[in-house]
Amino acid sequence: MNKIDNSRNFMKSNYEEMKNIVSDQMKDLPQPPLQKEFDKDSEIINLIPIAKIKIRNDNLIQNIKNRKSHRRYKDESLTLEELSFLLWASQGVKSVYERNNKSYATLRTVPSGGARHPFETYLLINNVTGLKHGLYRYLAIEHKLMFIRKIENQSEMIIDATLGQKFTGKAAIVFIWSCIAYRGEWRYNIAAHKAMLLDAGHICQNLYLACEGINAGTCAIAAYDQEKVDNIIDVDGENEFSVYLSPVGKY
Ligand SMILES: Cc1cc2nc3c(=O)[nH]c(=O)nc-3n(C[C@H](O)[C@H](O)[C@H](O)COP(=O)(O)O)c2cc1C
């Protein structure tokens, strides 16, 4: 099979082949955590709960009409309230579903095949009031932000990692979504991967619409260097790897 046929097959349903596969969930193997673990002693920033957030433009029809990709950003900061809103809209957890007294699934602002929600959200913060520059991770279950580290030449690094797309270096924030593949594979084995990429689309679409609510813009990015982005977010590139990016700024 040539490479294009291989890639096309990845887009198709694998459910015929799945009939012969026993997933790790069916084998009663332990479920992976719903969220990547984090060091409780790290620097954690409280975000604003959605009930306390006031959104300027909350007309959904208008926001859908206005949605487009923005690649020019003003040198203007976002507030912590605005960032809290974007994180909640794209990956916010509405409830944690329990089964047999164990956390079994998160239900979020976006759908996900089998509610597996296999993603983590990393942020390169460049211009948010009150936050220093650097790499952060969204703790979706807690609705908090964890500071990971400062990055030397952050703007140049992300421009280079996105194959020279200069607007990424001007954004107030760059959203980078990684996938922890086993979260989906545990249940869906070879059928997990198509579903997980479909899931990523929902996240970014919600980010686009949420940006409209705060007079900000974003632009989905799939053209990037896998190794460079994985190095920026400090992931191993095998069990966890970047799948999608979206820089955000005021326009
Ligand atoms: C999966 C995906 C990947 C994309 N990758 C890039 C990218 O790497 N660079 C870029 O400038 N735009 C990228 N875009 C934005 C598209 O070019 C844009 O959505 C398209 O031109 C339509 O314009 P609109 O979003 O303003 O309607 C991507 C969009 C999607 C959905």
DSSP letters, 95-109, are: EEEEETTEEEEEEES
Q: How close is the Cα of 185 to the center of ligand 1, in Å?
A: 28
Q: How close is the Cα of 240 to the center of ligand 1, in Å?
A: 24
Q: In angstroms, what is the C-alpha Rg of the chain?
A: 18
In sequence order, the 6+-apart residues with CB closer than 8 A to the CB of 22 are none
Ligand 1: which of 63, 68, 69, 162 to mutate, most ligand atoms within 8 Å of CB? Answer: 69
Structure tokens at 69: 């990709």
Q: How close is the Cα of 242 to the center of ligand 1, in Å?
A: 17
Ligand 1: which of 199, 219, 243, 244 to mutate, most ligand atoms within 8 Å of CB? Answer: 219
Q: How close is the Cα of 71 to the center of ligand 1, in Å?
A: 10
**Cβ 110 vs Cβ 196: under 8 Å:** no
Question: Whose C-alpha lies nearest to ligand 1, atom 28?
Answer: 220
Report the atom number in ligand 1 closest to the C-alpha of 204: 31
The per-residue pLDDT for 70 is: 98
Beta bridge partners of 177: 121, 244
Beta bridge partners of 245: 176, 221
Could you tell me the pTM of the whole model?
0.97
Q: How close is the Cα of 220 to the center of ligand 1, in Å?
A: 5
Question: Whose C-alpha lies nearest to ligand 1, atom 4?
Answer: 221
The per-residue pLDDT for 14 is: 87
The per-residue pLDDT for 225 is: 98
Question: Whose C-alpha lies nearest to ligand 1, atom 1?
Answer: 222
**Cβ 223 vs Cβ 163: under 8 Å:** yes
Lining residues, ligand 1, CB within 6 Å: 68-69, 71, 165, 219-223
Average pLDDT, consecutive stretches of 10 residues, N- to C-terminus, the chain (251 residues):
92 91 96 96 97 94 97 98 98 94 93 98 98 98 98 98 98 98 97 97 98 98 98 98 98 95
Ligand 1: which of 221, 228, 248 to mutate, most ligand atoms within 8 Å of CB? Answer: 221
User: Is the Cα dihedral 43, 92, 172, 122 positive or negative?
Assistant: positive
Report the atom number in ligand 1 closest to the C-alpha of 163: 8
